[in-house]
Amino acid sequence: MHPPTLIEKIWNAHVVHEQPGAPTLLYIDLHLVHEVTSPQAFQDLRERGLNVRRPDLTVATTDHSIPTTDPSLPIVDAIAATQVAQLEANCRDFGVRCYGRRSERQGIVHVIGPELGLTQPGMTVVCGDSHTATHGAFGALAFGIGTSEVGHVLATQCLLQRKSKTFEVRVDGALRPGVTAKDIILALIARIGVGGGTGCILEYCGSAIRALTMEQRMTVCNMSIEGGARAGMVAPDDVTFEYLCGRPYAPIGADWDEAVARWMQLPSAEGAAYDRSITIDADRLGPMITYGTNPGMGIPVTAPLPEPAQVADPLQRDSIRKALHYMGLEGGRPLLGHKVNVVFIGSCTNSRISDLRSAASLLKGRRVNPQVRVMVVPGSQQVKRQAEAEGLPEIFRAAGCDWREPGCSMCIAMNGDQLQPGEYSVSTSNRNFEGRQGPGGRTFLASPLTAAAAAITGVVTDVRTLL
């Protein structure tokens, strides 16, 4: 037996039952719920006459389908309004707390979990959303589930799970100016591909990961799923504890001391073995951007686009050719200088206060290119209040940006915030799939700094030229 990893320690502590020939029954410490993937699960509970087993471990919010306009106004989209009302009714009927559209705690589910101190090291966290991987930044085992499994957790607080492989992602060195956590994760996915982490849980480690703030670690873990891994984790340390201390749901007093002592036991033991490992040199990373129609199609912003003719594998060659065609791009040419119509700063990847500060630092005293529409969407009501306290909305508005209400917004384009067919965005979100930001829309994924740079120049830009 080799010494256990962080992942194995959390897994072992949550085994409820094991039976030969069946997956492990795993206990879930925190279940986050939103309006899009839960209605059919609550309906299933009603039909079976079941209750929510642990409403005290269940927290709901509205984020995906809500407008990012004034919350005192009704939702115009009747189908979305019905869905939001259904979540509120379900939460009322089943006794689940819901931070709804007019709550001061409302926000993107993966922003509010951490900021309220709900997400803590060593926990198992699930949500009917693939970006649940975000919460792994705290050293929690956090992963997305489907609606059937949402029903299982609501009814039993448990899930049937098979053990994943462990995949160590070591990022050593120091990031250079203009290079961010988003660039680390885009570089990783470009390297392993969108299926590279399938069947694995990633553990991020190394000096460059240790040097990241909690919000930056969340950006990295958030996009683990874009590399195919259901979860991505960072072992908890003083940065984690400092972030959590004093948050509304964090333990206090003697409970806090006891919790920290317990959390300090979580990091992988010396000599722990992983099924796979990869190393990234942070010193050598530049700002990254995606050019294609999946998050693995990423390049350094200064690099030329790939030439399909030079790709050996026929299906891979077709993928790149098809992606370039959809994106209206030509292989071999640079992406730098390419026209941009929309800049979106937001999403569960990059809508936290440090992301907004980062974008504002570049936009302060500058003007957005008049050809570009810029949307800044804070991740939560709390992020919005903090930004207001720091005067960030004034900076964004003075530059010519649209400052909006919290929600998933143009990351998933369910709420009317979307691209027009053929438009190009530089987006701080996590997915560049065809039509993800609106039918026919074309997405370049990048960091808040790179997005802000494009907002100013109106074209894909190396932010280091503006620093």
Partner 1 sequence: MSGAMNFRSRLVPLPINNVDTDQIIPARFLKTISKQGLDRQLFNDWRYDAQGQPKPDFILNQPRARGAQILLAGDNFGCGSSREHAPWALGQFGFRAVISTSFADIFQQNSLKNALLPIMVPADAHTALFALVDRDPEAEVTVDLASQTVTLPDGRVVEFPIDPFSKHCLLEGVDELGYIMKNEEAIAGYEALRVGSINTLA
402-431 residues in contact with partner 1 (CB under 8 A) are 412-414, 421, 431
With CB under 8 A as the contact rule, the residue among 102, 273, 334, 433 that binds partner 1 is 433
SS3 (DSSP) at 455: helix
Burial per residue of 166-196, b for 16 or more beta-carbon CB atoms within 10 angstroms, e otherwise: bbbbbbebebeebbbbbbbbbbbbbebbbeb
Distance CA 374, CA 393 (A): 13
Q: Closest approach of Cβ 414 to partner 1, in Å?
A: 5
Count of residues interacting with partner 1 (CB under 8 A): 79
Closer CB to partner 1, 15 or 174, in the complex: 15
- Which residue reads 């499994």 in tokens? 149
Q: How far is CA 8 from CA 159, 166, 217, 230, in A?
A: 17, 9, 20, 15
Distance CA 467, CA 357 (A): 14
Near partner 1 in 310-329, by CB under 8 A: 315-316, 318-319, 322
Q: Closest approach of Cβ 460 to partner 1, in Å?
A: 23
Closer CB to partner 1, 15 or 467, in the complex: 15
**Residue 37 near partner 1 by CB under 8 A:** yes
Say if residues 262 and 158 touch (Cβ distance below 8 Å).
no
**Residue 165 near partner 1 by CB under 8 A:** no
**Residue 157 near partner 1 by CB under 8 A:** yes
**Residue 341 near partner 1 by CB under 8 A:** no
Tokens of 427: 């987006």
Near partner 1 in 262-301, by CB under 8 A: 262, 294, 296
**Residue 333 near partner 1 by CB under 8 A:** no
Contacts of 249 (CB under 8 A, 6+ apart): 116, 117, 118
Distance CA 129, CA 352 (A): 18
Closer CB to partner 1, 216 or 290, in the complex: 290
Near partner 1 in 234-263, by CB under 8 A: 249, 251, 262
Distance CA 205, CA 148 (A): 33
**Residue 144 near partner 1 by CB under 8 A:** yes
- Integer-rounded Cα Rg, in Å, for the chain is 21
Closer CB to partner 1, 73 or 315, in the complex: 315
Q: Closest approach of Cβ 60 to partner 1, in Å?
A: 13
**83 to 102: interface string for partner 1, x by CB under 8 A:** x--x----------x-----
Say if residues 233 and 272 touch (Cβ distance below 8 Å).
no
With CB under 8 A as the contact rule, the residue among 77, 172, 237, 390 that binds partner 1 is 77
Tokens of 150: 């949402």
With CB under 8 A as the contact rule, the residue among 101, 230, 352, 384 that binds partner 1 is 230
Closer CB to partner 1, 24 or 219, in the complex: 24
**Residue 76 near partner 1 by CB under 8 A:** no
**Residue 123 near partner 1 by CB under 8 A:** yes
With CB under 8 A as the contact rule, the residue among 9, 152, 352, 384 that binds partner 1 is 152
**352 to 391: interface string for partner 1, x by CB under 8 A:** ----------------------------------------
Tokens of 327: 């994106």
Say if residues 207 and 246 touch (Cβ distance below 8 Å).
no
**Residue 162 near partner 1 by CB under 8 A:** yes
Distance CA 166, CA 5 (A): 8
Which DSSP string corresponds to 1-21? -PPPPHHHHHHHHTEEE--TT
Cite the DSSP H helix spans in 194-252.
207-210, 214-222, 238-244
Q: Closest approach of Cβ 303 to partner 1, in Å?
A: 21
Chain centroid to CA 385: how far? 21
Closer CB to partner 1, 227 or 378, in the complex: 227
Closer CB to partner 1, 401 or 414, in the complex: 414
